[in-house]
Structure 1
Amino acid sequence: MTSDATDFYASLPVFDNFAEAVKAKNYRPLPDDWVIGFSDVVGSTQAIANGRYKAVNMVGAGVIASVANALGRRPFPFIFGGDGASFAVSPSEAPAAAQALAAMAAFAHAEFELDLRIATIPVRQIRAAARDVRVARFAVSEHCNYAMFAGGGLSWFEERAKRGEFALPHAPDGALPDLSGLSCRWGVAPAKYGLVLSVIVSPRGDDPRYPALVDEVVQMVLGAAQSGRPITVESLGVGAAGQAIALEACAVKASGVSRLRAQFTAATNYLMGLTFHKLKLKAGGFDAALYAAEVAANADFRKFDDGLRMTLDCAPAFADALEARLAAADDFADWGVFRQKSAQITCFVPSINEHGHVHFVDGAEGGYTMAATALKARRLLKAEAA
């Protein structure tokens, strides 16, 4: 199947029930000639140990922002992974997306001092390896929906990209991605119920028991009294000035202004955001209270990309019960969890007067990266015991 029609993604049905959005029957195959992009921060575990996870998240979200801006902000399927991101684009959009990805890698090294691994591959090449890439759309709110992926193709590609296969060269030094709309002014959101739990549950092969496990875990989460979204209006607060301004200044600098000008712009934006949020001000078409409510509603705290990923605010007892259920599935599923005290978000807001702004959620102390580390450690122990 081939198609250069960029409206493929827009034509997909949108599910507003997460339990339905994770069911395999609701995913549609990407056209053969579409292209998958992948990125991840090399050495993200060490960056976490150095207290730089907010910067890692900023670079991961920056990949999505740079590609979105390069495509004129036309909707396209993407997914945020904490220390990176994956996406799919039509063949006509692939050159612009690759250029944005290469520029983001160069800029991440120069401004954030983080090395970004990047790679691209046509969907037909993934299918030649007996994997697939299928897509669904999940509406987290009336105005915002996110892509989810199934078929095993993204995971297959990620493994090979991390070995250096399909690598995309970085742009030359001085390349500037368009990071308009990328920001990180919010502070950490403390857990309401006791802890923030980062969860990854991946299939091992094509075991037919895995879909039933996903359904059961999702129902556990949806039905628990003390388990819910980690970002709420009540938990939102403007972050510490130093870190927020420094990170946003890096994003502003991508517009080509001087470092001093970027810092001034970031500081001004921070102070305006703080004032409007604290006083719940309105100006023109902007309503600070409504915007905060939309931030919470639009946050991507649960998703599926060849495996279930969730960032949950939950009670320790619920975390214990969930881990016990996952441990019982050790013979057919790989899983990892990580407990922390708070969550954090990184934002892509092309316009404060539009309602579809997106907010990428992760645990504030390592999140998905540490859950993935735990998953890999469990997988290694099982392989050694086999």
Structure 2
Amino acid sequence: MAIAQLHQPDEPSATGSGSASETGFAYEVLKPFTSFADVLEPSVFVPVPDDWWIGHCDVIDSTGAIAAGRYREVNMAGAAAIAAVRNALHGRALAFVFGGDGASLVLPPSDRSTVEAALAATVTFVRDELGLTLRAALVPVRAVRAAGHDLRVARYAASESVAYAMFEGGGLAFADARTKAGAYGLPAAPAGARPDLTGLSCRFEPVPAATGLVLSVLAVPLTGADRMAVRAALADILGLIEAMPRLGHPLPAAGPALDWPPSGWEIEARLRGPLLGSRVLRRLQVLIRAGVSFAIFRSRLTLGRFSPGRYLREVVANADFRKFDDGLRMTVACDAATADAVEARLQTARADGVLRYGVHRQNAAVVTCITLSAVAADHFHFVDGAAGGYTLAARQLKADGA
């Protein structure tokens, strides 16, 4: 039976034997691993303490929004939660994962009230400015273990400047299921509340697949599956993708393209809110700034410490096109033959009782960005498929049941 189908108690009742000490744990001091294949090594993960919390949010009916052509808004809603929390915590290292139509993040008890306020404001913002319904919850890690699951975290260094959190143990899947069931829900902040979304943008154009298609993959272990069989199946899938040029990276080595006006400029104007009380002024400001950025990137003009070419290379290096959160999550560039081989291996794993999965094919990828400083190298870039990506792969995963 899949985790999402389990009926679990809403309140924690015990501390599991796998729990970590509730003092002395700090995510930011975990040593990152640098080879993505090591995400399949249990030794890279450490337990998250029982007194920590999981912040989780997702867009209700994201599938319908994507069918209406609103994939940019859906991605922006998920990324907004991450940006809001990071800014509320003044840029401190944060364990998070972007899920396409939502996000999960893990936080210590000392940050609970701050994160609750940031997520509540994000729910209001997404409703008022993006016209979507974002549900959010704060789930105690103690409840994860009381329900028989675990939450373990590792850090993967996508580049020398950026590390992303990886999770295993079923904790995030449990949080997702409980959030969808209405448990631990956070109410929206009052009308007019706005989170601090500094740095959040979507100026890059969709990136066509140089290899033929962009494949979004979700592969999750079936409950009770043999751990070694799961590892072998996931290693096979990774091997198929890593045989592609540049390990299946969906962004070109020189970086994604910009255009003017950028396709996401109206969403960016809504992110910023009115300027001097005027939405028209804000739209004009965003267009002007986008035009200046386009000219700088087009000319490759270096301004002071800012180099467009270096920034674009950093975008590629920092992109989160591969991750692990209770299963393998990838948006990769590959040819049709490789996509067929990946699906065939997934089908075999499903028939063997090892994995359940969802995949979605499209012809481009999209990038949503959090850049607090254009001259620092630690900017984040979330990659998804341009025509449904993770959301439609998740729909197939959900339909699989199990």
Aligned 1:158-173 pairs, distance under 5 A? 158-173=176-191
* Counterpart Cα distance in 2 of 1:143 and 1:226: 19
Cα contact 1:150–1:305 (8 A) shared by 2: yes
* Counterpart Cα distance in 1 of 2:332 and 2:209: 9
User: Which AA in structure 1 matches 2:193?
Assistant: A
Cα shift readout 1:26-45 (whole Å, capped 9, x = no counterpart): 10111111111000001100
Aligned counterpart, 1:283:
303
Aligned counterpart, 2:149:
131
Aligned counterpart, 2:118:
100
Aligned counterpart, 1:343:
365
Among candidates 233, 238, 243, match of residue 213 of structure 1: 233
Cα shift readout 1:124-153 (whole Å, capped 9, x = no counterpart): 111111111110000111111100110101
Q: Secondary structure at the match of 2:183?
A: coil
Cα contact 1:4–1:92 (8 A) shared by 2: no
How far off its partner does 1:223 sit?
2.7
How far off its partner does 1:264 sit?
2.5
Distance 1:369 1:138, change over 3 A: same
Cα shift readout 1:97-120 (whole Å, capped 9, x = no counterpart): 110000000000000001001011
How far off its partner does 1:234 sit?
4.2
Cα contact 2:255–2:315 (8 A) shared by 1: no
Distance 1:307 1:32, change over 3 A: same
1:297 aligns with 2:325: no
Among candidates 382, 385, 388, match of residue 360 of structure 1: 382
* Counterpart Cα distance in 1 of 2:171 and 2:275: 34
Q: Secondary structure at the match of 2:28?
A: coil
Q: Secondary structure at the match of 2:49?
A: coil
Distance 1:254 1:141, change over 3 A: farther
Cα contact 2:262–2:290 (8 A) shared by 1: no
Aligned counterpart, 1:3:
22
* Counterpart Cα distance in 2 of 1:147 and 1:129: 23
How far off its partner does 1:256 sit?
8.3
Q: Secondary structure at the match of 2:56?
A: strand
Runs of 4+ in 1 over 3 A off after TM superposition: 1-5, 224-227, 254-258
User: Which AA in structure 2 matches 1:221?
Assistant: I
Distance 1:197 1:95, change over 3 A: same
Cα shift readout 1:30-69 (whole Å, capped 9, x = no counterpart): 1111111000001100111110001110111111000000
Q: Secondary structure at the match of 2:272?
A: helix
Cα contact 1:176–1:255 (8 A) shared by 2: no
User: Which AA in structure 2 matches 1:136?
Assistant: A
Cα contact 1:82–1:369 (8 A) shared by 2: yes
How far off its partner does 1:220 sit?
2.2
Among candidates 308, 321, 338, match of residue 328 of structure 2: 308
Q: Secondary structure at the match of 2:109?
A: coil
Q: TM-score, normalised by structure 2?
A: 0.91
1:25 aligns with 2:25: no
Distance 1:4 1:253, change over 3 A: farther
Aligned counterpart, 1:334:
356
Q: TM-score, normalised by structure 1?
A: 0.94
Among candidates 78, 95, 109, match of residue 60 of structure 1: 78
How far off its partner does 1:353 sit?
1.0
Distance 1:4 1:195, change over 3 A: same
* Counterpart Cα distance in 1 of 2:195 and 2:276: 10
How far off its partner does 1:213 sit?
1.3
User: Which AA in structure 1 matches 2:108?
Assistant: S
- Number of residue equivalences: 379
Cα shift readout 1:335-381 (whole Å, capped 9, x = no counterpart): 1110000000000001101101000000000000011111222x14x
Aligned 1:176-187 pairs, distance under 5 A? 176-187=194-205
How far off its partner does 1:262 sit?
2.3
* Counterpart Cα distance in 1 of 2:278 and 2:151: 42
Cα shift readout 1:267-303 (whole Å, capped 9, x = no counterpart): 1221122111111111111001110111111100000
Q: Structure 2 stretches of 5 or more lacking a match? A: 1-19
Larger displacement relative to structure 2 (224-233 or 291-300): 224-233
How far off its partner does 1:235 sit?
5.7
Distance 1:92 1:24, change over 3 A: same
Q: Structure 1 stretches of 5 or more lacking a match? A: none
Cα shift readout 1:212-239 (whole Å, capped 9, x = no counterpart): 2112212222234585100124461115
Q: Superposition RMSD on alpha carbons, in Å?
A: 1.7
Larger displacement relative to structure 2 (338-347 or 125-134): 125-134
How far off its partner does 1:261 sit?
3.2
Aligned 1:218-297 pairs, distance under 5 A? 218-225=238-245, 228-234=248-254, 236-239=256-259, 241=261, 243-253=263-273, 258-297=278-317
Distance 1:13 1:254, change over 3 A: farther
Identity value in percent: 44
1:143 aligns with 2:164: no
Distance 1:348 1:334, change over 3 A: same
Cα contact 2:255–2:316 (8 A) shared by 1: no
